[in-house]
A and B are shown apart, each in its own frame.
Chain A
Amino acid sequence: MNRKVPKQMLFTLDSLNYAIPLSVVREVVAILPITPLPKVPAYYKGLINIRGQILSIIDLRLKLNMKEIPHDPKSSVIVIVELGDIQLGLIVDSAKEVSQFKEEEVESFSKRDIDAKHDGIVGVAKDNKNDQLVLMLDLMKLFDNSEFKIFKSTKVA
């Protein structure tokens, strides 16, 4: 029973540890000037120019119903993820290490455990090395259920 789950990238939001699969992370960049968009949900912060490519930016704090804080340019970063055909930049409080958990360290949540506002959190991992808990986030689930509906809009458009 020493099987491992896929490598995860850890980051923090409101002093909580979160993890997303490293396979969806394309790169991590510093906060760039964001062009806000009219009439969109508050967590959809706007668009950035990343080497000539236009990218949508999501404030993950707001998406997870945490209070908004001004971004600390020293620690806040944009994690660029690739979800299907869509690339998004996620603002997080700070990016941390890449970890690989053993299967027995991860406890998956069943559906009814999840509070509606914490949709997208699919499990919790015990990080024994640093003696902390890490919330495992499923980004597809997080966005699929929201009014943002990025994955559905591809069909409508």
Chain B
Amino acid sequence: MDEFTIVLRNTFLEEFLESASRMETLFMVLEKNPADSDCINEIFRLMHNTKGSSRAVGLDAMAKLAHASENILSEIRSGKVQPSLAIVNALLEGLDAMKAGSESIQNGTEDTSIYDRAIANLHLAAQTGSSTSSVQAPLNASQQPSSSDHSFIDFTAEENPPHYNPDGSSFHHTDSKISSEVETPKTVNPNLGTAQQLHTAPQQRTGNEVMTSGAAAPQAGTANSKAKTEDSIRIQLAKIEEIQNIFGEQIILQSALEHSLAQDPIDMHQAEKILSQLRKLSVSLQNLIISLRMVPVSSVLGRLSRAVRDVATSTDKLVEIKLEGGDNEIDKNILEQLIDPLVHMVRNSVDHGIEMPEERKQKNKTPSGTIKINARRLGSNFEIKISDDGKGLSKEKILEKAHASGIVPRGLVPENKEIFKLIFASGFSTKASATEFSGRGVGMDVVQQQVKSLKGTIDIDSVDGSGSTFTIKIPLSLAIFNGTVVKIGEEKYVIPNTDYRETISLDANKNRRSSDQKGTIVEFNKELMRLVDLRDRLGNRFTKKPDLRNIALVVEHENQKFACIVSDILYQEQIVLKEMGPETKLVKEATGGTILGDGKVALIIDLLKIIASKGIAA
């Protein structure tokens, strides 16, 4: 395959993943509202696009599946087939197969067998549900191809059918208008208004957006770590124009600055004025660039609704999912890493939290449960709340289980919040038996790990009988933060402002010191703190002199305070995290690097890690 085809293919795959998630959302809408013609039209359009584009980049097997899906969609659109549960299931299964397929393509091994299975299921669902009556096909029809349904046997007799069998099958009435549109996507059929829409709409959509391949930070998300393609993001053209404008202004100011510096004598007053204007521009440029990486939270709604739906249908529960604050934007990288935990949590909420409809009626609740997702900015954090109106967490049950499994010693009863947090412990599940979706007690542990790796926190609140709320807080924009530049030995280091509580000045004459086997303890304001001399730890060329006065940063770790001695505290500024090569992992104390105002590189150090690794924290 030549390079150009690879580029085209990667572009297609990216676009496909976007339209796939849009289709998922639309299928959910369609299921609730089978008569929604706008919805079915949009799905049809997206599927049609997928078919055309996949064929164009040589993915014929995928195109075949898209074609089969499209046929059913066109039947739904013309009202000949009702979007029954079985049919929507089969269509979703088809989407899943295409997604799995696109992932396998990115891994370099396209597996086309999954498509065939999905096509078979689509045919089966279409045949069982093709009678125009609203008879609901059994849920498992699409999942049990071995059923003795004779129409299915008819179908399997034909190996790998490229299209619907036009004769003998339920699709013999496929109308010629639709098939002409399907077969010749390049020509606009004047008989069909939608056909026109079909070709122009995608262009309109991409018209004011551009694709940029960015040097985005490496992804931890499961789907993305496998992908060989560079990550990309859609950016509104207006944002790029704004950046260009600011850049233009900067150039003008730059030459003005050069001009005032060339004066004899130098026009200092003018130069300073220009410099302050330049600073302002830099700040707006910075904000704009940060905003380029942002995507609305609502972009994950499709995946979440899909997860809720899957669990709900197979557990026979009724669940609605609501998203508030979906317009709020969050860094694309962060959101991608949050998708898996969020999916896991909503699945859990449906499986563990929401009761069966009868049980809910008995409790005077609506038969249908609600899962609410609320996303908002909260200061420098981003907060996502997932609440359900299910049965809530039983403190007694959790505690009983924790005591039984030895996670909490018997006789010890922690605080409410701490009790709820026990469900994050690995191997913990109050559910008597594991279901397909949850109950194995591994998931919540993973959720917590992932949130932690984003430097976030997770809290649980629950009222027994009326529901639970999970609150995830993630610091916004990990790439830029406020930091303190300190001198340790001869070098400058950066410490994130959120990593320490305060700075203190220790005086050997006033602050008493004592030592135990773990090191030195100092008393400051009647509090005992352990001394950690960062100069020992990091100062390469540090020559130790007995010093009477020390400047230290106070860090709290596991209810103990640590006074971390530095040589000097220089200043505070906005720190831009820079990427560094994997070889820099050799420096275990550092979490990253940055470039300071003087143009030199400085390491960003992780005080907690230093404290923990010194073996003095325990």
Query: Which residues on A are within 8 Å of B, measured CB to CB?
Result: 33, 35-40, 44, 46-49, 52-56, 85-88, 148, 150, 153-154, 156-157
What residues of chain A lie closer than 8 Å to B537, measured between beta carbons? 38
Closest residue to A33 on the B side, CB-wise? B600
What residues of chain B lie closer than 8 Å to A52, measured between beta carbons? 578, 595
What residues of chain A lie closer than 8 Å to B579, measured between beta carbons? 53-54
A38: contacting residue among B540, B578, B582, B583, CB under 8 A: B540
What residues of chain B lie closer than 8 Å to A37, measured between beta carbons? 540, 584, 586-587, 590, 603
Given the interface pairs A38-B539, A40-B587, A49-B595, the reply to whether A150 lies near B578 with Cβ below 8 Å is no
- Give the CA-CA distance A130 to B11 in the complex, in Å: 51
- The answer to the question of B599 belonging to the interface, with a C-beta cut-off of 8 Å to chain A, is yes
- The answer to the question of B585 belonging to the interface, with a C-beta cut-off of 8 Å to chain A, is yes
Interchain Cβ contacts under 8 Å between A and B, 9 examples: A35-B491, A37-B584, A38-B538, A44-B583, A49-B600, A49-B601, A54-B595, A56-B584, A86-B583
A57 to chain B, nearest CB (A): 10
New A-B pairs, 19, CB < 8 Å, besides A37-B586, A86-B582:
A33-B599, A35-B601, A37-B590, A38-B537, A39-B587, A47-B584, A47-B593, A47-B601, A49-B595, A53-B579, A54-B581, A54-B593, A54-B595, A55-B581, A56-B583, A148-B586, A153-B583, A153-B586, A154-B582
List the 8 closest pairs (A to B, CB-CB), nearest first: A150-B583, A47-B601, A35-B601, A38-B538, A154-B582, A157-B585, A49-B595, A54-B593
What residues of chain A lie closer than 8 Å to B581, measured between beta carbons? 54-56, 85-88, 150
Q: What is the predominant secondary structure among interface residues of chain B facing chain A? A: mixed
Give B519-556 interface residues, CB cut-off 8 Å to A. 537-541
A153: contacting residue among B539, B580, B585, CB under 8 A: B585
Closest residue to A86 on the B side, CB-wise? B581
- The answer to the question of B445 belonging to the interface, with a C-beta cut-off of 8 Å to chain A, is no
Closest residue to A152 on the B side, CB-wise? B582
What are the interface flags for B594-608 relative to A under an 8 Å C-beta threshold, 1 for contact and 0 otherwise?
A: 010001111100000
Give B350-366 interface residues, CB cut-off 8 Å to A. none
A36: contacting residue among B540, B590, B595, B599, CB under 8 A: B540
**Which has the most chain B C-beta neighbours within 10 Å: A36, A47, A150, A153?**
A47
- The answer to the question of B589 belonging to the interface, with a C-beta cut-off of 8 Å to chain A, is yes
A155 to chain B, nearest CB (A): 9
- Give the CA-CA distance A47 to B590 in the complex, in Å: 13
What are the interface flags for B256-293 relative to A under an 8 Å C-beta threshold, 1 for contact and 0 otherwise?
A: 00000000000000000000000000000000000000
Judging by beta carbons under 8 Å apart, are B583 and A48 in contact? no
- Give the CA-CA distance A53 to B593 in the complex, in Å: 10
A62 to chain B, nearest CB (A): 15
